[in-house]
Amino acid sequence: MKNYLEFEKEIKTLEDEMELLKSPGNESISEVDTTKIKSTQEQINSKLKSIYSSLNSWQKTQVARHEDRPRAGFYIKKIFKDFTPLAGDRYFGDDQSVTAGFGLINEKSVLVIGQEKGEDLNTRIKKNFGMMSPEGYRKCIRLMKLANRFKIPIITFIDTPGAYPGIGAEQRGQASAIAHSIECCMSLNVPNISVIIGEGGSGGAIALASSNKVIMLENSIYSVISPEGCASILWRDPGKSLEAAEAMKLSAQDLLRLGVIDDIIPEPIGGAHRNHNEIANNIKKTLLENLNYFHNMSSQEIFDHRKNKFLKIGRGGGFTKPSSEGETALVFKEPINFKLIRIFNQNKYILIALGMAIIASIIAMLY
């Protein structure tokens, strides 16, 4: 049974009509019926294109959380061959909310990590709705270090509302586990690529998304807090989720403009939940392109690429390697527009006086 969002009521009506036309209980479909089916399908596609091209941030949040949206487990089975899951953090236990192991993509070995929300109520409870505990992050750290030792690229699928905030998780060192996971991601000498397939929430997401390339599906979200949580803090009213979502700039399109992410993977008409195979093929193609991008890079170049990517967020030109030999630190590269503004502010009185003198000279020559 399909699940429909509030803004998809017209689509539901048309698809119900389509099912009636195709129903085996009806008389055999005539030429007129076939034409009607084709016409209805065109109407559905047109409506979907119209609706999904003008979604606001809150509606995109609803799509990112859609019950029928494919999960990490589906992508792992569809994209990778010979996947071998590995379990346990060697300290406490295994976290069911994250699947991790080694597999092949086009005969190339990769470490695959996928946050799992679950497919139905039972699996969601088992996987804690995708909210990882400290042992989950420690499992990922253990496997990322192993992949780094054997020069194996890392691919992560992000889909979580955030790390688990329960008292047991806090007692076992949740904050420390997240911090060490971020540190591990940033220190790798192999390429790591993160794909946000649904929700990318708070530290629970950034712990595994501190990557060379952060890529989002078209209707996924990535933010420091949920829109409901933001609205509760700012306005004491969870009902203001739309205002919060718009202000937070959590959509893929906003984050690409801000330089927080690197690319957007287009979804099928009507979202990833309407065509699982198509979105899996789109993701596989993007992953292969990005793996090829890093193929000829040295370990140091891969490390510098990741470091520079995060250092330049919000800074315009970012940081570059110094030209003088013997220096290893990164140097800030000032953008040309920032440089011109700085020069003007430092010399504005001289420049204003010079401008007035030039204007006066022109006037004197004319008259």
Q: State the pLDDT at residue 36.
A: 80
Q: What is the pLDDT of residues 192-249, one digit of tens each?
A: 999 999 999 888 999 999 999 999 999 999 999 889 888 999 898 888 888 889 888 8
pLDDT value at position 324? 54
Residue 325: pLDDT band with limits 50, 70, 90: low
- pLDDT reading at 317 higher than 70: no
pLDDT class for 37, splitting at 50, 70, 90? confident
- Specify the pLDDT at position 222: 94
d(CA 278, CA 264): 15
3-state secondary structure of 92: coil
Ranges assigned E (strand) in the chain: 81-85, 98-105, 108-115, 154-160, 192-201, 213-217, 221-223, 263-265, 319-320, 331-332
- Other residues' Cβ atoms within 10 Å of the Cβ of residue 283: 22
How many Å apart are CA 176 and CA 210, to the nearest integer? 16
Token digits of residue 265: 């993977």
> CA 207, CA 204: separation in Å to the nearest integer?
6
What is the mean predicted confidence (pLDDT) over 255-267? 91
* Closest CA relative to residue 132, chosen from 84, 82, 95, 177: 95
